[in-house]
């Protein structure tokens, strides 16, 4: 996988989701090819609003949030692949996105 470091500001420019339903905070790596793949993550803290009502006192991350995060990651992968298809060489698109990340 090719390292790709994109934070939440760039992620929010690529997909329409916003907090509290944005389940992807960062993109870490991208694989383009026969089997494209994307590695993304979300930082979960004890201060998440869902923990106030989802088993108070026992911080369990709801499985539906994990599934939503997988869906958003797939959406990001499709957006990144479409951008590369529409705008030229993958390395140029990824470099532009990382430059945007540094600028924000």
Active site residues: 54
Closest CA to 104 of 14, 2, 3: 14
Structure tokens at 51: 């923990």
Sign of CA dihedral 84, 96, 30, 19: negative
């Amino acid at each position: 996988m090719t390292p790709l470091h994109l934070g939440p500001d760039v992620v929010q420019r690529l997909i329409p989701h916003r907090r509290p339903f944005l389940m992807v905070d960062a993109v870490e790596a991208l694989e383009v090819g026969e089997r494209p793949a994307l590695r993304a993550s979300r930082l979960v803290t004890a201060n998440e609003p869902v923990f106030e009502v989802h088993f108070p006192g026992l911080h369990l991350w709801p499985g539906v949030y994990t599934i939503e995060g997988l869906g958003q990651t797939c959406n990001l992968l499709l957006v990144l692949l479409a951008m590369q298809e529409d705008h030229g060489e993958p390395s140029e698109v990824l470099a532009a996105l990382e430059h945007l990340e540094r600028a924000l």
